[in-house]
Amino acid sequence: MFHQKKSILSLFRLALGGAILWGCATESAPLGGKEDTEAPKVKAANPPDKSVNFTSKQIEIRFNEYLQNNGFTQTVISPAVEPKPEIKLNGKSLFVKLKGSLQPNTTYTINFVDDVKDLNAGNVFQNFTYVFSTGSYIDSQSISGKVKTAHDDTDADGVIVGLYQTDNLLPVLSERPKYFAKTNKAGMFTINNVKPGEYAVFAVKDQNGNLVYDQPNELVGFLDTLLQLTDTFPQFVNLLVFNQHPNKPKILTYKNSEPGKLTIKYNTAISKFRADSKLFFNGFQAWNSNEKDSITIWFSDYYTKFDSVFLCANDTTFDTLRLELKTLIKDSVLQQKKHKLSIHNQQVKSLGSDKSVATLPQLTLYEPLKFNLSRPVLSISDSKTIQITVDSSQDITTKKFWLDKTTKQTLYVDFERKPNTLYKLIIPDSLLRDVWGIYNDKMEQRFTTNSSENYGNIKLTIKTAEQGKKYVLKILNSADVEVAVYYLDNVKEKTDVLKNLPEGNYKAVVFEDTNENGEWDTGNLSQRKQPEKVIPFKDTYTLKGGWDLDLELNLQQTETKPKVQK
């Protein structure tokens, strides 16, 4: 009996011990408590980090927690060693096996970039490096700096900054950097343990993790001069990364969304464009989009099912599109009158519902009325005009109406208006003739004007930075629509009053216009051309209805002094 009890007790202890061992061997996230936001930490390394006279073929780095096994695809050793080192995980230890021969008297850096992540939360030990030297000392040169995006002067996070020693003029296109680091959220970076010498500096927002600038959506930047790392003082550099426009246009997509309409999207801005097709026998209308990389073509043949369009973009790229087109039923346009030229109704979503309902638009007191037409208009009748009915009583005839020059699909009407008043606009039939050769039916649009108390004035003072430089300053509303544009050339100070602006938020955009084309231009890597400098004004300025906003923009200090006056 005693032996039986002892045997049962032994089995119980064995089972309990096994459960404890199993629990110790299984890694699991803790229940409750604070969220894990800390990156892994190094507890020990063998050989130690920054070892000299290095001869080992294997490195063990032990961390305070388990790591993710993500293949370590970003990890790079510089100078390069072939074949590449083999990296494995075992528990909380990371092993680097060096297979290739090492050069004598050379400092090596293993940069893990973002490959070291903890197992549970995925926290990254960013820019973690292990350094060793086959000689008697560790190279001690360093470089640090800041990277910003060129178009808006914001801090550039996650950008690879690399140093290159090569005869290649553009090594970032095909080579991995000899030394590199990744910027943090503030756009800052530091590269340590660099061998003294002369280096080219490039930056790339690497999208595919190969440390090479080879994707169209990657940002790139460069230092104008070679960097001399020979002093005992660390170097600090500023870099701008930009989205480079391709030198040669290429069609990305094209779409025939409705009869008589073709939209073509290119990979770069289009400044010159030509098109030809039998579809255009009775004329066509083409224009750029606001982004300047899309072309919209309206044409007069809405019956043809298949045809070709011949295109030329920027006088360099020729394309032929063979299209299967959307069409209309024969004679449905003229006889059934289903496709008359019309004003697009303004609609909004009703509260608590996904349904769209027509709404009575409230239009501004001081700007021309703006109406979007269903198709471009190619001609306006000289014998007819637009009528305005005020409060359903007296007719006012106005001849102040016109089409926008670009799309010819927006109609502007201007007349003196009263606040808080109901109006009805009447466009007589056959006033407008569209790209299909079709005249409009009689069209009516009702609207109200808002209160004069919804408008204010901006009293603007502009102080330029350096004489001899040319600047463009734009005032934009909350929809990024230009309210005013100023071209500043050798002007120390300029004042202006922007009257009767709708209440809301406004911002200032300023850039140095080196080529005097009035537009901000990005950089070009192959031409070694830096992007035009943007002067940041990051504040949003609020204009209240019935108030004046005194706004001083100092291009030298990039400080603003807004004051509000009743």
Going across the sheet that includes 401-403, the strands are 369-372, 410-413, 401-403
CA nearest neighbour of 359 among 343, 346, 377, 373: 346
pLDDT tens sequence across 234-275: 789 999 999 988 878 999 999 999 899 999 999 888 989 999
pLDDT of residue 301: 87
Residue 536 falls in which region: left (phi positive, over 0), alpha (psi -120 to 50) or beta: beta
The DSSP line for 261-294 is EEEEEESS--S-EEEE-GGGTT-EEEEE-TTSSE
- 15 belongs to a structural domain: no
Parallel, antiparallel or unpaired: strands 548-554 and 455-463: parallel
Task: For residues 532 and 559, state if they share a domain.
Answer: yes
Task: For residues 262 and 284, state if they share a domain.
Answer: yes
Task: For residues 317 and 368, state if they share a domain.
Answer: no
Please, what is the Cα angle at 120 between 118 and 122, to 5 degrees?
Answer: 50
Contact 562, 549 (CB under 8 A): yes
- 21 belongs to a structural domain: no
Coil/strand/helix, residue 9: helix
Task: For residues 170 and 270, state if they share a domain.
Answer: no
- 351 belongs to a structural domain: yes
**Of the candidates 241, 275, 294, which is a domain's last residue?**
241
Mean of per-residue pLDDT scores for the chain: 84
**Of the candidates 102, 117, 133, which is a domain's last residue?**
133
- 339 belongs to a structural domain: no
Number of domains the chain contains: 5
pLDDT of residue 13: 46
CATH number at residue 372: 2.60.40.1220
Q: How confident is the model at residue 459 (pLDDT cuts 50, 70, 90)?
A: very high
Task: For residues 459 and 444, state if they share a domain.
Answer: no
Task: For residues 359 and 308, state if they share a domain.
Answer: no
Neighbours of 89 (CB within 10 A): 16
| pTM (2 d.p.) | 0.74
Task: For residues 228 and 166, state if they share a domain.
Answer: yes
Residues 6+ apart with CB under 8 A from 289: 295, 296
CATH number at residue 202: 2.60.40.1120
Task: For residues 118 and 187, state if they share a domain.
Answer: no
- 123 belongs to a structural domain: yes
Task: For residues 116 and 147, state if they share a domain.
Answer: no
Contact 237, 203 (CB under 8 A): no
Q: In this structure, what token pair is assigned to residue 186?
A: 């503030």
Task: For residues 459 and 559, state if they share a domain.
Answer: yes
**Of the candidates 222, 241, 260, which is a domain's last residue?**
241
306, exposed or middle or buried, with CB in 10 Å at 0-12, 13-18, 19+? exposed
Whether 157 shows a pLDDT value over 60: the answer reads yes
- 112 belongs to a structural domain: yes
pLDDT tens sequence across 166-197: 889 999 999 989 898 888 889 999 998 999 99
Whether 398 shows a pLDDT value over 80: the answer reads no
pLDDT tens sequence across 96-146: 999 989 999 999 999 888 899 999 888 999 889 999 999 999 998 999 999
Q: In this structure, what token pair is assigned to residue 49?
A: 């980090």
Task: For residues 95 and 145, state if they share a domain.
Answer: no
**Can you give the residue range of the structural domain that contains 507?**
454-565
